[in-house]
Amino acid sequence: MASTDLAEVFSKIGLAEKTVTETLQNKKLSAVLYECIQEVCVIGFKPHADQADVANGCEKSKGTLVYDVATKLPAALQTHRKMLLTYIGDGRISNAVQLNAALDFLKRRKDAEFATKDFEAAAGVGMVCSY
């Protein structure tokens, strides 16, 4: 995909222009981020309105979390990427605190199996915080 097309896709998930520019300079990160965006769309995440495709983007809050998965998930934990994106896509993980807790949980477990309820408890799934 051309970098101008990627820039548009990255902008539509709410990334700042500076972040888009920096991301495009890193071909590997650009590819991983685009894959993450595609995965979110394939698993049924409805970006805006009732369309689930890369071209429509999403809310900035979800886009930022998708970007964080692309940049923070270690290579050894890539097997969990789809699960994390599913939780982001359906709103069960809706903020950076939850995502960071989820990543910490996965890093501690490495590739060991774990119970979904343990992951959800560690990530604060189902908890609502108000400020």
Q: What is the pLDDT of residues 94-115, one digit of tens each?
A: 999 999 999 999 999 876 778 8
| pLDDT tens digits, one per residue of 31-71 | 999 999 988 876 545 544 444 455 567 788 899 999 999 99
CA-CA distance, 22 to 126, in Å (whole number)?
34
Report all structural domains of the chain as residue ranges with CATH numbers, in order of start: 3-123 (1.10.8.1290)
N-terminal to C-terminal alpha carbon distance within the chain = 41
* Cα torsion 59, 92, 116, 103: sign: positive
CA-CA distance, 10 to 68, in Å (whole number)?
13
Residue 111: partners with Cβ closer than 8 Å, 6 or more residues away: 76, 77, 79
